[in-house]
Amino acid sequence: MAASRYRRFLRLCEEWPVEDSKQQRDLGSVLRQRVAQAFREGENTPISDPEACDQMYESLVRIHTNFYKNKKYPRLKDTTFTGVTVEDCRMILATDILKQMEDIKKGTWKRLREKFSAKKPEEDLK
């Protein structure tokens, strides 16, 4: 039984897309890491709570297939209340854009110190 559960999770991981724009913050990559941790021994991994495992799988499938978006709560428009589209949200949440926003939030003194400092800012914290 554990082998079939393992294969179902592997199939889900293969189908789940990985967004390269969200480095280390992508749900697909987190899912792959968690499956690898949970099934360390592959098909031979003993499962302590099969019902919880099946429930987790079904929940992930519903997220992956947009079950609630398509069946229960259909959307009339593909925008938010602010008028921002899905593509705009993806662009804003990209890792590169978030790093640029962090640089903008830095104060002038901190930017100057980082620019002219010989050592890295992480070394100042030690």
Q: What is the mean pLDDT of each run of 10 residues along the chain (126 residues)?
A: 85 85 78 88 84 92 87 72 77 71 70 70 54
Give the residue carrying structure tokens 């069946």. 71
pLDDT recorded at residue 122: 57
Q: Kindly state whether residues 13 and 51 are assigned to the same domain.
A: yes
124 part of a folded domain: no
- The answer to whether the pTM exceeds 0.75 is no
Q: How far apart are CA 41 and CA 34, in angstroms?
A: 13
pLDDT recorded at residue 124: 53
Structural domain of 85: 76-119
90 part of a folded domain: yes
Total of domains in the chain: 2
Q: How many CB atoms within 10 Å of residue 97? A: 13
pLDDT recorded at residue 57: 92
Which residue in 25, 7, 23 sits closest to 15, CA to CA? Answer: 7
SS3 79: strand
Half-sphere exposure of 118 (CA within 13 A, CB side): 0
